[in-house]
Amino acid sequence: MATTASGNKKLVKKQTKKGVPQKQQPVWALGMPFRKINYILMLAGILILIIGYYLLSGGGTDDPTEFSEAIFDTRRLYVAPIVLIIGFLVELVAIMYRPKVKEEENPTEKQ
């Protein structure tokens, strides 16, 4: 569709999404999908998850015929699940977080 029947070339406008100006469209950078901050947040989330699973462990006995009340400890019933949920939320934020990209200014456009 770049040429007509008479041989004249048409200018083809860049297609954009309906209702979204061209300047507001997201710019997808090629390369690594995550930045340094994403990896730091992922490591923090993994550390929180390790702490949560450590808090969840324990409460057993050496003798299987003996019942231990330690499994109903507040640490295992309330604190550890809350820490685990926080760890999973940090991981979700680490995956979804996208830092704002500063657009490079073109000095010829401002004149």
- Residue 71 pLDDT class (50, 70, 90 cuts): confident
50-66 as b/e: b if 16+ CB within 10 A: eebeebbeeeeeeeeee
| pLDDT of res. 41 | 96
Handedness of CA 100, 30, 93, 58 (dihedral sign): negative
* Collapsed DSSP state (helix, strand, coil) of residue 30: coil
* Angstrom distances, CA of residue 65 to CA of 5, 83, 94: 92, 31, 45
Q: What ranges do the domains of the chain cover?
A: 30-96
The first and second tokens of residue 41, run together, are 């947040």
For 27-49, how does the pLDDT look when each residue is reduced to its tens digit (9 = 90+)?
Answer: 555 677 889 999 999 999 999 99
Whether 91 has a pLDDT exceeding 90, the answer reads yes
Residues 30, 109: Cα–Cα separation, whole Å: 25
